[in-house]
Homo-oligomer: A and B are copies of this chain.
Amino acid sequence: MSYEYIRYPVPLGADSIITFTTDFGLRDPYVAEMKGVILSGAPMVKLIDITHSIPPGDILACALTLERAVSCYPPGTIHLVVVDPGVGSERRPIAVISSSQIFVGPDNGFATLAINESDYKAYLIENVRAPSGRVSHTFHGRDIFAPACVHLARGGRLSDLGEEIEDIVKIDVRKPEVSVDEVKGEVIYVDHFGNLITNIREGDIKGLDRGRWVVRVGRKWIKGIRRYYSEVEEGDIIALIGSSGRLEIAVRGKNAEQVLGISPGNSVVVCRL
């Protein structure tokens, strides 16, 4: 099976899509510099921001963000990801293809949750040239990764970027302890609304549909796992399976992080009554 001809799945006549995920924020011109480089080389491309508000250097938040977003994009999409605290050091620039989507960025584990762990191919990025003719030591997003995306968006082969590699860095996302009557996990992400997202997936809770469960977070006990926010009253705490298939703790109409004083790392326990 060849992954090479990546443009096929994109509908005929459509522009290819490049998404952006960074910790650059929206104040500086850095994102726009990368976009300018890409549009200079691949003017028909469609540019989509996933987010530029990853906390600086937070690879886990980046991986969780990509896990959610990537599943919504069509085959052939190129994801440019620059959360890169090690820029300029010996960490490697890579391009990875998995499930017909491509990831371009530093080899630091950012794609751990978005790729199929047992079915991907990875390549070093060795053969691209910054349009300025000169690679800065502090902005590989503009000078290495964006040109690599141009190469790919124009239909170039992954294997032309550089040597294929077997091993890429993966981050260790702690898994919950799962038994029949109890699941012990933790809060791993807090979203814009203050909803507390855990590392417990729907499938970890055996017999969720039939059983009766309680959820403990901090000193609070929450009875039942609900389906949607409006099942409880304004201001009430609620546990539910969120839109990513993970257990979430929320406070209806309020910011659960602030109301409950809970943040990433806090333990969450689900027990059968």
Q: Give A residues with C-beta under 8 Å from B.
A: 10-11, 13-15, 17, 19, 24-30, 32-37, 39-40, 43-44, 46-53, 56-57, 65-66, 68-74, 77, 85-89, 131-132, 136-139, 142-143, 191-193, 227-231, 240, 242-243, 248, 253
- Within the complex, the shortest CB–CB distance from A250 to chain B, in Å, comes to 9
5 residue pairs A–B, Cβ–Cβ below 8 Å: A29-B65, A32-B50, A32-B69, A33-B68, A137-B240
User: Does A228 contact B32, Cβ atoms closer than 8 Å?
Assistant: no
Question: Residue on B with the closest CB to A146?
Answer: B72
Q: Which of A13, A35, A66, A87 has the most CB of B within 10 A?
A: A35
**In the assembled complex, which residues on chain B have CB atoms less than 8 Å from the CB atom of A131?**
72
Across the interface, do A72 and B36 meet the contact criterion of CB distance under 8 Å?
yes
Chain B residues within an 8 Å CB radius of A19: 32
Whether the Cβ atoms of A88 and B229 lie closer than 8 Å is yes
A interface majority secondary structure: loop
Per CB-CB distance, the 5 closest pairs between chain A and chain B, nearest first, are: A88-B228, A36-B72, A139-B243, A25-B192, A14-B43
A73 vs B29: C-alpha distance in the bound complex, in angstroms?
12
Assembly CA distance A228 to B138 (angstroms): 6
**Cβ B136 vs Cβ A243 within 8 A:** yes
